[in-house]
Amino acid sequence: MDFWRHLKTVQRHRHLVRQYCFRLGLYWQGLTHDLSKFSPVEFWAGVKYFQGDRSPNDAQRRDKGYSASWMHHKGRNRHHFEYWTDYGVSGEGIIGVEMPKKYVAEMFCDRLAASKVYRGQDFQPGDPYQFFQYGKKKRLLMHPATSELLETILIVLRDQGEDAAFDYVRREVLGKK
C-alpha cells in the first residue's frame, strides 16, 4: 500500500494543472481539477495499484479486467474525451461528441502535468505528443475535431515549447489576448 506516495502524486499533478489552468485564465477548472480522485473508489484504487510512473488504473484493469476507478473518473471529469460520448442520432451507436474548447484546454494542461509527474527529470516537451500518438488507436471515441485540435496544441508544445503552446491555447483556442 502506497498511501503517501499516491497522495503526493495526486497533489503534485493537481498543483501543476492548477498552475497551467490559471495561466490560461481557467480558474474554476484549475481549482476543481480531478477532485474525484479523492473519492473512495478512485483514491483507494490509486493506493492499492500505485506504480509511480503511470496510472494505477492500468494495474487495476490488468488485475480485475476493468478499472472501476477509471470508470468513475471519466464520468465526472469533463477534461477527458471519454466523458463526451453519446449515442449517435442516426443509430450508429456510441460516438464522440466535440468537446467545448475550455475542456480541450484543460485536457492539454492535464496531459502536460501527467507527463511531467510520471516522467520526472526525463520529461521532454514532446512526451505528451508521443503519448497522444501511442494512444491514437484507442481513441476511436474522440471526436475528430477534438483530436485535431489537441494534436495541434501538442505539436506546438513539442516544436516550440511551453510558452508558445500556452500562447496558442490562450489566443487560438480560448480567444483571449
Closest CA to 109 of 11, 12, 6, 16: 16
pLDDT of residue 140: 81
Mean pLDDT, the chain, whole residue set: 96
Q: How confident is the model at residue 135 (pLDDT cuts 50, 70, 90)?
A: confident
Mean pLDDT of 71-88: 97
Distance CA 143, CA 85 (A): 9
Assign 148 to helix, strand or coil.
Answer: helix
Distance CA 153, CA 149 (A): 6
Tell me how far apart the terminal alpha carbons of the chain are, to the nearest angstrom: 46
Q: How confident is the model at residue 34 (pLDDT cuts 50, 70, 90)?
A: very high
Model pTM? 0.95
> What are the domain boundaries of the chain?
3-173
